[in-house]
Amino acid sequence: MSLPQIVDSHCHLDFPQLADEIDDVIARARAAGVTRMVTICTKLREVGRVRAIAEAHEGVFFAAGTHPMSVASEPMVSVAELVALAAHPKMVGIGESGLDYHYTADSMKVQQDSLRVHIEAARQTGLPLIIHARDADDDMARILTEEYRAGAYTCVMHCFSSSAALAEAALDLGFYLSMSGIAAFPKSTELRQIFAAAPIDRILMETDAPYLAPPPYRGKRNEPSYTVHTAQVGADLFDMDLASFAAATSANFDRLFWKAA
């Protein structure tokens, strides 16, 4: 019997927890049915090593941007830089960008400026924007909506764990919600309800590896092969078998991340 084919739409294969055994990590993912992965660059000066991982491995793609928690200490990215990087055949998304007021509220203004740059790059390239949002729901919904009205773009709310109001705002704009291991945590009842209320054609899967491992690996290093554990939780939420849920979320990935389809 063939395994359901699952996509890990967001991981960090260049991070030291995974990079030292990258070939084994990717082999374990494939053995678990995770045939495609998007590895995310969080600081533009590190894009070379992220791109190299994608170039060296079939089924691995990359995205590039400046993480909101790093914008205060990194040079401000330009639209032109992101557009130039997007010419690479394996660069499939813009980001991750966004707002994080949990640890870095002091850089609120520069985070917002950076977010708008990433949105414009997503507009110009047609690649999806990858959003990190934490403790910034009101500003996040406002900026995404303002910018969408100024010119359409596509977007995924990566590792979604925010409010129902932000989920609704994102879905109203035609955006996608990505389910990480957080949705599989026993206490994440409200989050699971948010996902269950969303249309199945707007759900993606991810690990955010090496972070946020789902049960039964919670507290350990995460890796793309564990996507299947979160996918089973998602399948149960939507009252689907795993193969059907994997097929649906993979089709969603292909629609949004069209360069990786």
- Which residues fall in the annotated binding site for a divalent metal cation? 10, 12, 96, 132, 158, 208
- Annotated binding-site residues read 10, 12, 96, 132, 158, 208
CA distance 122 to 227: 26
